[in-house]
Amino acid sequence: MRSRLQCLISSSLVICGVVCLMSFELHRFWVYIFQMIASVIIIVNSPIENENKLLSNEEYGHQKKRTIVMIFIYALVSGVFLMFHMEGLSRAVSFSVILTGITQVPCKMESVYTRFSQ
């Protein structure tokens, strides 16, 4: 129970931080740098297993490939929006990837800590 609460609190703090970050007018370059960093975090950490649903090696590989394809699609959609001068939509897609990547970090750290403490 404690680990869930810690994950919830840390994820909520990260979400608040990203929302504050979104309120600033960041240069487009930094938004896409953060998106690339978050994409790498997502690809490295996905899929996140749950003790209630462990993945077989085959399922793990399938979900990893699916994650990579989805990240590529998000980057492509963000780029297409930017090409058509829809920067607001492009930023929204970028920030969704950033938010997903950043919220994975505390939960993944907690699962690693739990695994090594047993």
Give residue for tokens 């309120």: 23
Peptide bond into 47 cis (omega under 30): yes
Q: Omega into 106 within 30° of 0, i.e. cis?
A: no
CA 99 – CA 20 distance, rounded (Å): 12
Domain of 102 in residue numbering reads as 2-117
The pTM assigned to this predicted structure is 0.73
User: How confident is the prediction along the chain (118 residues), in pLDDT tens digits per residue?
Assistant: 456 777 678 777 877 877 777 677 777 888 889 899 999 999 988 887 767 777 788 888 898 899 999 999 999 999 999 899 998 889 889 888 988 888 787 766 666 666 666 6
Number of domains, the chain:
1
